[in-house]
Amino acid sequence: MTTPPSALLGPAEIRDLAGRLGVRPTKTLGQNFVHDGGTVRKIVRTAGVREGERVVEVGPGLGSLTLGLLEAGADVVAVEIDPVLARQLPDTVAGRGDGLSERLTVVLQDALRVEELPGEPPTALVANLPYNVAVPVLLTFLERFASLERVLVMVQAEVADRIAAPPGSRTYGIPSVKAAWYAEAHRAGTVGRSVFWPVPNVDSALVALERREPPTTRATREQVFAVVDAAFAQRRKTLRAALSRHAGSSAAAERALVRAGIDPQARGETVDVHGFARIAEALLDADVPTDAPVDAPAGTPAGTPADGQDGVA
């Protein structure tokens, strides 16, 4: 049974519900709640959600998108870090239509710490991701849940550009390469600021990803990603210089790059994920510890990609 059009939350209901719960949206948790039903349905349509499909949603908040996914007939597992919001979500859903609660499972947990999900493995991730952790959450779920065939997430517009950027573009960097390891990504639309409460200070966009096989390589994902981190730690440097510490010396880095078919004078933003996989494999053949951590440049917060492309709002 699907929900009637009136089942979605409107602006007044969002504010009333937040007020009754004593919820004040915080930048720390990246909370901006969507209150426009048309936007919610646009997200669900763009995601191609099918009736009966198992969908995981991260950061459901007050339930706007959750109700839209349920309206489309999906079975939803919602991962929420805020205990107040997690407890309220089933009651909100139950009050909007008969039988909806039966298709909702709420997981009270930090999305970055989720190792497994209850029930059938999800085939889609559809979410309005908290801006401050958008890229880490996206990459974590692509890594941990191989059942995900496709993803549609709303993120800061600048972050959407970086995730979907092709090699050679100004915005291409760590998120672009690491997302490309798992999937093909593209911008799937823009979202106006006025559909959120509170109104954010940045523009938002949808980015869609379709799962594909990772590059064929004898190097591990961790080894490839370590090379990516090193290449963009100082992105203005040539790869020969940027990888010198990682490879043990500039000469070793140059040999590995030549073996991988990459110009040692090229920069990281010109190399696609397959090229980085070849570099990691060449370093592996040279017996270089290619999964060694890379020091971030001065001023880079701990846990933040070295080129600053984590999407913090």
Q: What is the pLDDT of residue 296?
A: 41
Q: Do 93 and 227 share a domain, yes or no?
A: no
Distance (Å, whole) CA 10 – CA 36: 6
Whether 75 has a binding-site annotation, put simply, is no
At 173-184, the pLDDT tens digits run 999 999 999 999
Q: Do 166 and 102 share a domain, yes or no?
A: yes
Residue 110: count of CB within 10 angstroms of its CB: 11
Whether 34 has a binding-site annotation, put simply, is yes
Query: Is the per-residue pLDDT at 157 higher than 70?
Result: yes
Determine, yes or no, domain membership for 204: yes
Q: 54 - beta bridge partners?
A: 75
Instruction: Check if the beta carbon of residue 230 is closer than 8 Å to that of residue 246.
Output: yes
Determine, yes or no, domain membership for 203: yes
Determine, yes or no, domain membership for 95: yes
Number of domains in the chain: 2
- CATH number of the domain that residue 195 is part of: 3.40.50.150
Domain containing residue 19: 5-211
Determine, yes or no, domain membership for 310: no
Whether 110 has a binding-site annotation, put simply, is yes
Q: What angle do CA 189, 142, 219 make, to 5 degrees?
A: 125
Whether 311 has a binding-site annotation, put simply, is no
Query: What does the mean pLDDT of the chain come to?
Result: 88
Q: Do 96 and 233 share a domain, yes or no?
A: no
Q: What is the pLDDT of residue 295?
A: 46
Q: Which two tokens stand for residue 113?
A: 């710490």
Q: What angle do CA 296, 217, 171 make, to 5 degrees?
A: 45
Whether 189 has a binding-site annotation, put simply, is no
Q: What is the pLDDT of residue 136?
A: 97
Nearest to 127 by CA among 182, 74, 200: 74
Determine, yes or no, domain membership for 308: no
Distance (Å, whole) CA 208 – CA 266: 29
Whether 93 has a binding-site annotation, put simply, is no
